């Protein structure tokens, strides 16, 4: 029987200056984005770094298998599994169809070179930050879906939902 690897998908909201976080928090509150995130990741496995887990106000995300990357051997997180390397995390999800990398900065940087798919929320404003997404070489990615949101009454900036697949892999 041939073995199919899961599609490795990154999901992230990125400012114009590639900012994604400050003081272990997000930089904005975009309800539409949280809704979309929930819809896309529901029922799937999510992989995140230990600092991103700590940033979640209610802990691990329900209705999803939460895998936490940490170097601390034997560390236990309730309602989560832990992995001590990218390789270990990938081994744990090898039988799944699609797996979501949900941050933060250090984890995105490690997965971007091997990701198959990007679900981006591109926020059209610069933000002060201490955590950034690595530069994306868009020549390697094909845009498959794009929705512009110009008129969110909650926010004074526009943002775009963009989905990309890596050219030549899927």
Residues that bind ligand NAP (CB under 6 A): 12-13, 20-21, 24-26, 48-52, 55, 69-72, 84-86, 102-107, 110, 131
Give min distance, CB of 85 to ligand NAP, in A: 5
State whether the Cα torsion 97-13-143-145 is positive or negative.
Answer: positive
What's the DSSP call for residue 22? Answer: B
**Would you say 4 or 38 has its CB closer to ligand NAP?**
38
* Smallest separation, CB 35 to ligand NAP (Å): 14
In sequence order, what DSSP letters do the residues of 102-165 get, joined into one string?
Answer: ---HHHHHHHGGG-SEEEEEEESS----SEEPPPP-GGGEEEEEEEEE---TT-SS-EEEEEEE
Q: Which helix (H) or strand (E) holds 65?
A: strand 65-69
Output 54 or 143, the one with its CB closest to ligand NAP.
Answer: 54
Min dist CB 90 to ligand NAP, Å, is: 11
**Smallest gap from residue 7 Cβ to ligand NAP (A):** 19
């Amino acid at each position: 029987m041939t073995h199919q690897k899961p599609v490795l998908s990154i999901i992230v909201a990125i400012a114009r200056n590639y900012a994604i976080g400050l003081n272990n928090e997000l930089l904005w509150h975009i309800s539409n984005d949280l809704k979309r995130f929930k819809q896309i990741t529901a029922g799937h496995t999510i992989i995140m770094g230990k600092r991103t887990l700590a940033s979640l106000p209610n802990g691990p995300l329900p209705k999803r298998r939460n895998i936490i990357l940490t170097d601390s051997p034997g560390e236990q997180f309730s309602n989560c599994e832990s992995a001590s390397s990218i390789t270990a995390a990938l081994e744990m999800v090898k039988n799944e169809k699609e797996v979501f990398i949900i941050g933060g900065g250090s984890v995105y940087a490690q997965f971007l070179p091997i990701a198959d798919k990007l679900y981006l929320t591109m926020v059209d404003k610069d933000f002060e930050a201490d955590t950034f997404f690595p530069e994306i070489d868009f020549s390697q990615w094909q845009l498959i879906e794009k929705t512009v949101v110009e008129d969110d009454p909650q926010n004074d900036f526009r943002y775009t939902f963009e989905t990309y697949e890596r050219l030549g892999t899927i």
